[in-house]
Amino acid sequence: MGIKKMVDLSIVFWFVLMGSCAVSSQTCSKRSGVFTPNNTYDLNRQAMLSVLPSSVTANDGFNTTSIGQEPNKAYGLAMCIPGTETQTCSDCIMASTRRLLQNCPEETEATDWRNRESLCLVRYSNRSFYGSLNEDTMWRQYNSALDTSVNSTEFVNTWEDLMGNLIDTAASKSNPKYYAAGTKELRVSTNIHGFMQCSKDLTSWNCTECLRQNVNEYMSCCRGRQGGSIARSSCFMRWELYPFLGLFDSQASPEVPEDQANTTKKDGINISAGEIAAIVVVPTVVVTVLLALGFGFWRRRRVYQAFPRERKCFHTESVQFDFKTIEAATSNFSEANKLGAGGFGEVYKGILMNGTEVAVKRLSKTSGQGEGEFKNEVVVVAKLQHRNLVRLLGFSLQGEEKLLVYEFVPNKSLDYFLVDASKRILLDWTTRHNIIGGISRGILYLHQDSRLKIIHRDLKASNILLDADMNPKIADFGMARIFGMDQTVDNTSRVVGTFGYMPPEYVTHGQFSMKSDVYSFGVLILEIISGKKNSSFYQIDGLVNNLVTYVWRLWEDKSLPDLIDPGIKEDCNIDEVVRYIHIGLLCVQENPADRPTMSTIHQMLTTSSITLPVPLPPGFFFGNRSGTTSSSQGLEPNQSSSKSFTCSVDEATITEVNPR
Ligand SMILES: *[C@@H]1O[C@H](CO)[C@@H](O)[C@H](O)[C@H]1NC(C)=O
Ligand SMILES: *[C@@H]1O[C@H](CO)[C@@H](O)[C@H](O)[C@H]1NC(C)=O
Ligand SMILES: *[C@@H]1O[C@H](CO)[C@@H](O)[C@H](O)[C@H]1NC(C)=O
Ligand SMILES: *[C@@H]1O[C@H](CO)[C@@H](O)[C@H](O)[C@H]1NC(C)=O
Ligand SMILES: *[C@@H]1O[C@H](CO)[C@@H](O)[C@H](O)[C@H]1NC(C)=O
Ligand SMILES: *[C@@H]1O[C@H](CO)[C@@H](O)[C@H](O)[C@H]1NC(C)=O
């Protein structure tokens, strides 16, 4: 796929200015129509573009201006980075409008993100686009220079925390500033500096959405890169190890002019044909997978409407494996290669021809649910990239055989460590702390930061895999649900999941939401700290005793430290662990509305100065609070302790479970 072809296909002109650390880009697309030069619309457009520079500087760096009458009205929008001097801002916008008039003589709609002497955005169209989100990537670049003394794990962690904070500030619901600049210490005398900005016409919700797309894109293009920037039509992000804007002055660090910053100097720009292709290929592959699977419910048609013709150019091969290849890689699914059983199938270790170790999930042919879940998992997981999620490398579909090929994660699951006292001892508090943090980042990504809101619905210790460094990776998305962008609660008549981790409203009413995952996460926190499985508790004296109710009793007795696994008690900061238990209790509150959101939880976990609210009694589902338990065969708690156990209960059974 040559660069020229890509350009032809999307009718996008890319202006990549190499040499200094500047990269600018312009899209002027015939897709949205052409006009006859010097017609009424053109005259309106020219008049509008000529007033933009002064309107922007007169209005604090952002302006929308439209001139003329429908249908020839010209709508314009422009902005500068906050803190840009008036003259510089005005010059930048003037240069942009000149380029637009020159390069887009007949295109009805165009965008220019200029990054030379300064940085500014100009857009125009014959339709009102104010307030609407445009996520098209205009450019992305990263510094190829790496300071190798920086620990990459710590870099990525600090980076994610900083960017999360910046999004919150820039897109705050109560007081959106539409930009944020911030610094976070990476280690003594090394800071990450970050900057984000949204077009001010957006709602705070769409501003968040746009900035999250940037953060996401970083994960796939530029992860671990110590400097770079990503620009979309509606927002912008940049990060460096040095203060690259005057806005950081509040931290009393001198501004390093862009051109002197040696980190960026060498090879600042990195938009190659491959990268441009990647921008287009990633969504296209997913689309192709969907088409190949004849998938009906795909909602985000925009993804392929934006690139209507590329579908022909890509094939599913990139993610589809030949059945024979996988058969060979797993020694014909031999018993010796079996890693375990997950929801809806068995998991085998395999080694591909090129030596890559993989985990292959073979969906059971008999399970009636298999196919739907299979497609769901492919669609959901293929789109996700996060270091706390297991990566899906591909799939194979041949007749009844449905296989999912995942990266291989060597250290088994959290479950394996928790149930066995001799293994549990290997998990010191630092490791457990890191596992809890990683799981929270993974869920946060599913809930907020990925392109879609995803609810996992089956978070449990056996679905948390551990890599060689004991970093957690969430697995098994077979039951994940993609939520529509504005949807917060859904209902299902078929409750799937694992008892012990499911919140009461899900078991009794089939209702699930992000807060269902929060509940499961709360149970995980309590299990990780206590070293006990929620399901390993039993009914004593007519009282339901599971981990959740046990912890509540300890809370009432003011004896939360009693929960802590004796194996870590010696070597941990008791106050910190008690704080984590407290957070766990907040996650398992009976009323979903009382449970914090994942982003709040993440903040509570990482910022000890945040005061935690007092919890109410938790919700649970082995029975009702007055003590009458009910358990059908499927609910026998200890069934889920040894192997991963997925139960599927229809509504009739649920009713017998004794709704509250
Ligand atoms: C914008 O222009 C295109 C063609 O140039 C035309 O098809 C479209 O109807 C116009 N839109 C509006 C809102 O006038
Ligand atoms: C548009 O008008 C300008 C100024 O009147 C003129 O110089 C130019 O040649 C015209 N362009 C076309 C395509 O008619
Ligand atoms: C754009 O600029 C014009 C002229 O200064 C002003 O009247 C208008 O209110 C501005 N609009 C916005 C959204 O800033
Ligand atoms: C966000 O942007 C989309 C796409 O432009 C628009 O349809 C939607 O109304 C916006 N949503 C909100 C909450 O502003
Ligand atoms: C990087 O930091 C992580 C977590 O702080 C640590 O576990 C790891 O050993 C460090 N790696 C190197 C190469 O120093
Ligand atoms: C950047 O260049 C300056 C001198 O121009 C030098 O002192 C400094 O060590 C360099 N920094 C890096 C990270 O290379």
In a domain, 560, yes or no: yes
In a domain, 506, yes or no: yes
Q: Do residues 123 and 175 share a domain?
A: yes
Alpha-carbon distance 360 to 14, whole Å?
Answer: 41
Nearest CA to ligand 6 atom 14: 262
Alpha-carbon distance 329 to 624, whole Å?
Answer: 49
User: Which domain CATH number covers 347?
Assistant: 3.30.200.20
In a domain, 467, yes or no: yes
Terminal Cα distance for the chain, rounded: 60
Domain end marker among 194, 220, 252 = 252
Q: Which residues pair with 179 in a beta bridge?
A: 197
Total domain count for the chain? 3
Q: Do residues 207 and 71 share a domain?
A: yes
Query: In this structure, are residues 271 and 277 in contact, taking their beta carbons and an 8 Å threshold?
Result: no
In a domain, 222, yes or no: yes
Query: In this structure, are residues 81 and 120 in contact, taking their beta carbons and an 8 Å threshold?
Result: yes
Residues in the ligand 2 pocket, defined by CB under 6 Å: 37-38
Query: In this structure, are residues 212 and 232 in contact, taking their beta carbons and an 8 Å threshold?
Result: no
Q: Choosing from 42, 112, 458, 517, which is the catalytic residue? A: 458
**Nearest ligand for residue 51 CA:** 3
- Nearest atom (ligand 1) to Cα of 35: 5
Query: Does 34 sit in the ligand 1 pocket, CB within 6 Å?
Result: yes
Q: Which residues contact 459 (CB under 8 A, 6 or more apart)?
A: 439, 443, 474, 501, 517, 520, 521, 524
Indicate the burial class of 597 (C-beta count within 10 angstroms; 0-12, 13-18, 19 or more): middle
Q: Do residues 362 and 426 share a domain?
A: no
Tell me the CA–centroid distance for residue 307 and ligand 4, in Å: 20
Q: Do residues 147 and 20 share a domain?
A: yes
Q: Do residues 429 and 512 share a domain?
A: yes
Indicate the burial class of 276 (C-beta count within 10 angstroms; 0-12, 13-18, 19 or more): buried
Indicate the burial class of 268 (C-beta count within 10 angstroms; 0-12, 13-18, 19 or more): buried
Active site residue 486: no
**Nearest ligand for residue 199 CA:** 3
Alpha-carbon distance 623 to 448, whole Å?
Answer: 33
Domain end marker among 606, 628, 645 = 606
In a domain, 434, yes or no: yes
Alpha-carbon distance 155 to 32, whole Å?
Answer: 41
- Nearest atom (ligand 4) to Cα of 134: 5
Q: Which residues of 426-464 are buried (b: 16+ CB within 10 A; e: fewer)?
A: ebebebbbbbbbbbbbbbbbbbbbbbbbbbbbbbbbbbb
Number of neighbours of residue 121 by Cβ within 10 angstroms: 28
Alpha-carbon distance 658 to 258, whole Å?
Answer: 66
- Nearest atom (ligand 1) to Cα of 108: 5
- Of all residues in the chain, what percent are helix, strand and coil, respectively (each to 5)? 40, 20, 40
Q: Do residues 101 and 154 share a domain?
A: yes
**Pocket of ligand 4, candidates 75, 125, 129, 133: which has the most ligand atoms within 8 Å of its Cβ, to mutate?**
133
Q: Do residues 399 and 431 share a domain?
A: no
Q: Do residues 32 and 162 share a domain?
A: yes
Query: Does 151 sit in the ligand 5 pocket, CB within 6 Å?
Result: yes
Query: In this structure, are residues 218 and 211 in contact, taking their beta carbons and an 8 Å threshold?
Result: no
Query: Does 430 sit in the ligand 5 pocket, CB within 6 Å?
Result: no
Max CA separation in the chain (angstroms):
88
Tell me the CA–centroid distance for residue 305 and ligand 4, in Å: 17
Q: Which residues pair with 350 in a beta bridge?
A: 358
Q: What is the pLDDT of residue 469?
A: 87
Number of neighbours of residue 343 by Cβ within 10 angstroms: 27
Alpha-carbon distance 46 to 285, whole Å?
Answer: 40
Helix (H) or strand (E) holding 527: helix 514-530
Alpha-carbon distance 326 to 60, whole Å?
Answer: 59
Number of neighbours of residue 486 by Cβ within 10 angstroms: 7
DSSP code, position 268: -
**Nearest ligand for residue 128 CA:** 1
Tell me which residue has tokens 């969907």.
Answer: 290
Q: Tell whether residue 361 is among the known ligand binding residues.
A: yes
CA-to-CA separations, 493 to 434, 488, 508, 593, 645, in angstroms, rounded: 36, 17, 11, 22, 20
Kindly list the averaged pLDDT for each block of 10 residues, start to end, along the chain of length 660.
Answer: 32 29 68 89 96 95 94 96 90 93 90 82 94 85 78 91 93 89 89 94 93 86 85 92 79 34 30 30 35 31 25 39 90 89 76 88 63 63 79 80 86 87 89 95 84 78 90 74 41 51 75 88 95 68 71 91 90 92 95 93 89 89 37 28 24 22
> How many Å separate Cα 482 from the centre of its chain?
13
**Pocket of ligand 4, candidates 132, 200, 210, 453: which has the most ligand atoms within 8 Å of its Cβ, to mutate?**
132
Query: In this structure, are residues 206 and 88 in contact, taking their beta carbons and an 8 Å threshold?
Result: no
Domain end marker among 407, 430, 452 = 407
Query: In this structure, are residues 479 and 496 in contact, taking their beta carbons and an 8 Å threshold?
Result: yes
Query: Does 660 sit in the ligand 1 pocket, CB within 6 Å?
Result: no
User: Which domain CATH number covers 595?
Assistant: 1.10.510.10
Q: Do residues 55 and 179 share a domain?
A: yes
Tell me the CA–centroid distance for residue 262 and ligand 6, in Å: 6
Q: Do residues 555 and 506 share a domain?
A: yes
User: Which domain CATH number covers 12?
Assistant: 3.30.430.20
Residue 273 is which amino acid?
A
* Long-range contacts, stretch 13-20, CB < 8 angstroms, 24+ apart: 13/103, 14/139, 14/271, 14/276, 15/99, 15/103, 16/139, 16/269, 16/271, 17/116, 17/269, 18/269, 20/258, 20/259, 20/268
**What is the three-state SS of 297-341?**
CCCCCHHHHCCCCHHHHCCHHHCECCHHHHHHHCCCCCHHHEEEE
Tell me the CA–centroid distance for residue 267 and ligand 5, in Å: 28
Query: Does 203 sit in the ligand 4 pocket, CB within 6 Å?
Result: yes
Q: Which residues contact 612 (CB under 8 A, 6 or more apart)?
A: 579, 582, 583, 586, 604
Alpha-carbon distance 90 to 92, whole Å?
Answer: 5
In a domain, 523, yes or no: yes
Expressed as residue numbers, the domain containing 366 is: 319-407
In a domain, 240, yes or no: yes
> How many Å separate Cα 537 from the centre of its chain?
34
Mapping DSSP to helix (H, G, I), strand (E, B) and coil, where does residue 22 land? coil
In a domain, 193, yes or no: yes
**Nearest ligand for residue 242 CA:** 6
The tokens for 645 are 């156990």
Q: What is the pLDDT of residue 487?
A: 40
**Half-sphere exposure of residue 356, counting CA atoms within 13 Å on the CB side?**
12
Mapping DSSP to helix (H, G, I), strand (E, B) and coil, where does residue 240 land? strand
Query: In this structure, are residues 239 and 191 in contact, taking their beta carbons and an 8 Å threshold?
Result: no
Q: Do residues 495 and 438 share a domain?
A: yes
Q: Do residues 432 and 401 share a domain?
A: no
